[in-house]
Amino acid sequence: MNTYKNAINMDIVRYSTKEQIAVITINRPEKRNALNQEVVQKLKEAFRMAASDQQVKVIILKGAGSTFCSGADLKYIQDLQNYSHEENVKDSSELMELFKQIYTTPKPVIAEVHGAALAGGCGLVSVCDFAFCTTESRFGYTEVRIGFIPAIVMVFLIRKIGEAKAKRFLLSGEIFDCETAKKAGLIYDYFEEDDDLEGFVMDFGRNLCQQNSSTAMAMTKDLLIRIQDQPMDQALQTAMVYNAEARKTNDCKKGIGAFLNKEKPVW
């Protein structure tokens, strides 16, 4: 089991750092790490901390216990029945802000998935840059099964896996396994054991930290987001500007200098 420094216990969401990696853990194992207003707020706070910490280059999102995240909390769903339209809009905006915050944070975000990732939990996986799971993991955008819609995650899922695959999962509400998730592009790989998953994710995060410039990763992630909805000529103009800006960064100068000297840059 890994030990972490700079640990901050926020009760239902834990935050800790180790080796330039921030680990954010949903900590409601007795509720299968279900989402409610407080969890969403604490996750937003934790991601703000990770984004602002200059020592952090990579973020890992996971769940405590045997489940990654089972979606919305039952009591929370019951309470929604009594919300006014204005209250529903405000509550919906909080989840929208969390998903957008994770998707646009300048640092790579890795989802470490064990057990179920359903509804809003599957939404969290969708907005991460990388996702890995165990063979026992199960996924599903199950909102339509209770008369609800996977509205917010839809915007991100189409970008991640394309419209045809997104339609299959969002309209059917099916619960699918790790192999199906990998073929669809939702996750990158899966492992037999939790320990293998945890070890691989940490190694994967370390490699990103050690091999890559944080500035370059941030600019690359931002450019990927920007150009997707732009016409080709506009996207090329945007890319050209980013190309020119990247050349002026200290990291680029450092990296090119090391390359010319046949050295490995230390990031």
Q: What residues act catalytically? A: 143
The helix/strand/coil state of 63 is: strand
Which amino acid, one-letter code, is at 70?
S
> How is the beta sheet containing 109-113 ordered, strand by strand?
5-10, 13-18, 21-26, 58-63, 109-113, 130-134, 189-191
* C-alpha pair distances (Å), 60 with each of 46, 92, 108, 125, 175: 11, 24, 9, 11, 24
Which two tokens mark 182?
């990998």
Instruction: Please provide the distance, in angstroms rounded to a whole number, between the alpha carbons at the two ends of the chain.
Output: 26
Name the β-bridge partners of 63: 26
> How is the beta sheet containing 175-177 ordered, strand by strand?
116-118, 138-140, 175-177
Q: At what angle do helices 120-127 and 85-104 cross, to 10 degrees?
A: 30
* CB-based contacts of 218, cutoff 8 Å, min separation 6: 106, 107
Residue 54 near residue 38, CB atoms below 8 Å:
no
Count the residues in the chain: 267
**Residue appearing with tokens 């769903």:** 77
DSSP 11: T
- Cα 18 versus chain centre, distance: 18
